[in-house]
Amino acid sequence: MTSLRDKYLGLVPSNPQASEEIYIRTALLRPRFSQLFAMALDFGVNALKEQWAILKADPECGREVERATPEVERILQNMEKGIALANERRRLSEQNHSATT
């Protein structure tokens, strides 16, 4: 099994024992779609949204959150839209499959 440190190399180099929450928060403050998408696959979009809400409520993170907000919120919205679209396509495919059998 790959560790978080190995999988997300460089995110939290000074703390090899960091929790998944710390990795997620660090990635949210340095938003890159590919990394956040990988984390959404590993932990779920809701985990990212929960950690983002925690960061937004933390006054010590104000400037970093302010800088990252447009990109993070766009990425999270696009992930949710993509998931909704995939779920709808799956539902329609299953519906079509059961109608033909």
Structure-token match 């938003």, residue found:
31
Distance between CA atoms of residues 56 and 49, nearest Å: 10
pLDDT of 2 higher than 70 = no
Residue 6 belongs to some domain of the structure? no
**What is the rounded average pLDDT for all residues in the chain?**
90
Residue 1 belongs to some domain of the structure? no
Let me know the angle formed at the C-alpha of 76 by 84 and 42, rounded to the nearest 5 degrees.
80
Residue 61 belongs to some domain of the structure? yes
Residue 66 belongs to some domain of the structure? yes
Instruction: Please report the pLDDT score of residue 39 as a whole number.
Output: 93
Distance between CA atoms of residues 26 and 84, nearest Å: 26
pLDDT digits (tens, 9 = 90+) for 41-88: 889 999 999 999 999 999 999 999 999 999 999 999 999 999 989 989
Beta-carbon contacts of residue 71 (< 8 Å; ≥ 6 apart) = 31
Residue 23 belongs to some domain of the structure? yes
Residue 33 is part of which domain span? Answer: 17-100
Give the number of domains in the chain: 1
Q: What percent of the chain has pLDDT over 90?
A: 63
- Band (16; pLDDT cuts 50, 70, 90): confident
How is residue 28 written in tokens? 């949210």
